[in-house]
Homo-oligomer: A and B are copies of this chain.
Amino acid sequence: MNETINLLKSHRSIRKFKDNPVEPEKLQAIIESAQAASSSSFLQPYTIIGVKEPSLKEELARLSGDQPYVARAPLFLVFCADLNHIDQACRMNAIEMPKDYTETFIIAAVDTALAAQNAMVAAESLGLGGVYIGGLRNNPRGVCNLLKIPKHAFPLFGICLGYPDQSPEVKPRLPQAIIYRENYYNSLDERAAIDEYDETVSQYYLTRTRGKRADRWSQQMAEKFSKELRPHMEDFLKEQGFKMK
């Protein structure tokens, strides 16, 4: 339909990178693009840490549950939801900012994600590729200690960036009938739609692995959710000053 939409629709996670670094002028454009995203009431409640130092990336790879591509990516961006800039602004106007409640947490998390997605799109438009690393939440305290992230900020996720050294296929998404509804959240036969999708995903894996894997999506979900994920997050967020009272 146009170049930008083709770019968006061709997104795949990239986990293998060439050795060449991300050029400073490209990094600059990526950060400017991130900042250009919308922000609730113009709060801009985030800080991005660009990690290039190899020993830090090694440690972050370990803290993320041993994801070696975190260390191998030339650039690792840590996206922190962060209320400190706003806190400073409030103090400059003699206001004590209430920080520790659910809505501030939602605003900060959403705005950080909007900025990150712009960064990803900008990077891809420049020939780079990357992958989101939610694994930073495996050990968020360790990440805070390592990168000196203060209270009222926390690492929401990271993005590995670099020049792709692989070209995976685009994964098929859930049928649009499940994801998009008109006017009302109408009920639909989700089971039938997911059955059909399971077939599509299974075919995707069969082709991609030359017959070695044939996972169904619903089965992947069931495996993922057979136990509670990252049960430490509630306490970590409280300690970090996002109390969710």
Contact = CB atoms under 8 A, between A and B. Distances in A.
A25 B224 CA distance: 35
Given A103-B137, A122-B5, A226-B95, A48 B11 contact: no
Assembly stoichiometry (copies): 2
A190 B104 contact: no
Nearest to A150: B185
Interface of A: 1-5, 7-11, 13, 25-26, 28-29, 31-38, 40-44, 46-53, 56, 80, 84-86, 88-90, 92-95, 97-98, 101-104, 106-107, 109-110, 113-114, 116-118, 120-122, 125-126, 131-132, 134, 137, 147-150, 153, 156-157, 170-171, 173-174, 176, 178-186, 190-191, 194-195, 217-222, 224-231, 233-234, 237, 244-245
18 contacts: A8-B122, A11-B37, A42-B217, A47-B185, A48-B179, A85-B190, A85-B194, A86-B221, A89-B194, A90-B221, A92-B222, A97-B221, A98-B228, A101-B234, A109-B109, A114-B132, A147-B183, A149-B185
A26 B1 CA distance: 9
Nearest to A242: B102
Contacts of A56: 183
Contacts of A171: 42
A108 B228 CA distance: 14
Given A113-B117, A117-B117, 13 more contacts: A4-B4, A5-B29, A8-B33, A11-B37, A31-B176, A31-B179, A35-B173, A44-B179, A47-B179, A47-B180, A88-B194, A88-B218, A147-B183
